[in-house]
Amino acid sequence: MMNMQQQPMNQQPNINNQGMMQNMQQPTDTKHGGHEIMDVHEILSCTISTLDQYLLYKQHVKDPELTDILNRQHQFMLDNYNILTECFKSGMNPSHPTSSYKMAQSNDVVYGLTPSQPRKPKMNASEIGDRCISNYMLGLIKADAASLTKAALEVTNPVVRRVIADSVPNYIEMAYEIFQYQNKHQYYQVAQLNAQDMQLVLNSYTTTTSQTLQ
């Protein structure tokens, strides 16, 4: 009688092959599409970069009002990052839903241009002030808003898609808050067309009747 411990090599179970077969038989994870994985990866990476840059800017801000905007936006984006990371990893609902960003600025916009000194690149870090920092913040938020909008059109997981889509209006609101701050301090001036040209553009469209396509 053959000793079971002395089986020929060709009769011994191949553990590696068995493990490989089991892995091949396991269902493929369908929580995310390939395009979605890379889009969300880019969003999360860019969000980390934005958060890190906000942290860097904070030590250079002089205006308490801008500091308040920076702190509130950083806190909101950090929570949004955690929510997206949770549902991205699980494919399911995060621990709590997204919230709506509430800006502290008013909706009053100052229109028109006033004379100011021509701008040029800074040659010394000491020249970086609140105008520069608010510009950097606005650029980051606008870029992130565009990335979120693009990704929301590509994501297949319904939970991740909804979290990303709900984030877009919040980033628009944050960008508008920074614009309002800049506009109030004449960092971001808003030019207008003359009254005649403006009316020509405004009157170049009209409404139509609602009816079924024929």
Q: Is residue 100 part of a domain?
A: no
Q: Is the pTM of this model over 0.85?
A: no
Q: Would 116 be classed as within a structural domain?
A: no
Q: Give the Cα separation of 205 and 191 in Å (integer).
A: 22
Question: Does some domain include residue 172?
Answer: yes
Note whether residue 67 is domain-resident.
Answer: yes
- Tokens describing residue 8: 């020929």
If one counts every other C-beta atom within 10 angstroms of the C-beta of residue 175, the result is 21
Question: Could you tell me the residue range of the domain that residue 194 belongs to?
Answer: 32-93+128-201
Give me the CATH number covering residue 137: 1.20.1260.10
pLDDT in tens, 42-100: 999 999 999 999 999 999 999 999 999 999 999 999 999 999 999 988 888 889 989 99
DSSP, collapsed to helix, strand or coil, labels residue 147 as helix
11 located within any domain: no
Q: Is 55 part of a structural domain of the chain?
A: yes
Count of structural domains, the chain = 1
How many CA atoms are closer than 13 Å to the CA of 74, on its beta-carbon side?
Answer: 16
Q: What is the DSSP string of 168-187?
A: HHHHHHHHHHHHHHHHHTTS
The total number of residues written for the chain in this structure: 214
127-152: pLDDT as tens digits? 999 999 999 999 999 999 999 999 99
